[in-house]
């Protein structure tokens, strides 16, 4: 697998060179075509552009796209595979964010359950105290007859 250049200029240059070769153009033919379009290109300019050692201007990039019937995406290496990898990365990021939300909601649910259980235990304890108080008073909810 071919290594992807690490800078945008190198990536552009590599794709430019690839498209030039696919179209069977020489660097001199590209230079001549760019000069015809009003750019001050030389063979050195074409060589440096392909090497990624000179910045490319937007108007030059557009002119090169026109020469090779390509898009800027073609010249910066935007491929279906690259778009798919980017889409997968975005999906993974969304999934991670969703998981953070699920974890937060799960923690809140667990805290609410814990609070509910604590309150239920207190309530039951208080009910026990109420029953004990009634027992001490002799009341069990039934009227007692005097002897």
pLDDT in tens, 85-100: 777 878 888 899 999 9
Higher local confidence (pLDDT), 2 or 36? 36
What mean pLDDT value characterizes the chain?
Answer: 84
Q: Say which range, 10-14, 23-27, 67-71, 81-85, has the weakest mean pLDDT.
A: 81-85
CA distance 52 to 16: 10
**Can you state the angle between helices 8-22 and 43-51, rounded to 10 degrees?**
120
Q: Which two tokens stand for residue 74?
A: 């073609």
- Whether the pLDDT of residue 77 is over 90: the answer is no
pLDDT score for 1: 47
**Residue 83 CB contacts under 8 Å (≥ 6 apart), including other chains:** none
User: Are 1 and 64 in contact, with CB atoms under 8 Å apart?
Assistant: no
CA distance 34 to 97: 48
pLDDT score for 100: 93
* Burial of 5 from C-beta contacts in 10 A (0-12 / 13-18 / 19+): middle
Say whether pTM exceeds 0.75: no
pLDDT score for 47: 95
pLDDT score for 5: 45
CA distance 96 to 89: 10
Sequential DSSP letters for 48-71 = HHHHT-SPPPHHHHHHHHHHHT--
- Residue 78, classed as helix, strand or coil, is coil
- Whether the pLDDT of residue 16 is over 80: the answer is yes
Average pLDDT over residues 110-127: 91
């Amino acid at each position: 697998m071919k290594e992807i250049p690490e800078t945008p200029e190198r990536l552009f240059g590599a794709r430019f060179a690839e498209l030039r070769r696919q179209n069977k153009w020489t660097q001199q033919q590209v230079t001549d075509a760019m000069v015809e379009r009003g750019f001050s290109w030389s063979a050195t300019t074409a060589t440096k552009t392909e090497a990624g050692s000179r910045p490319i201007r937007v108007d030059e990039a557009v002119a090169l796209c026109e020469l090779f019937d390509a898009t800027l995406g073609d010249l910066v290496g935007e491929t279906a595979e690259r778009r798919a990898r980017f889409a997968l990365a975005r999906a993974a990021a969304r999934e991670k964010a969703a998981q953070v939300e699920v974890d937060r909601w799960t923690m809140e649910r667990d805290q609410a359950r814990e609070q509910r259980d604590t309150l239920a235990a207190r309530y039951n304890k208080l009910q026990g105290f109420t029953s004990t108080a009634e027992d001490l008073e002799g009341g069990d909810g039934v009227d007692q007859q005097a002897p």
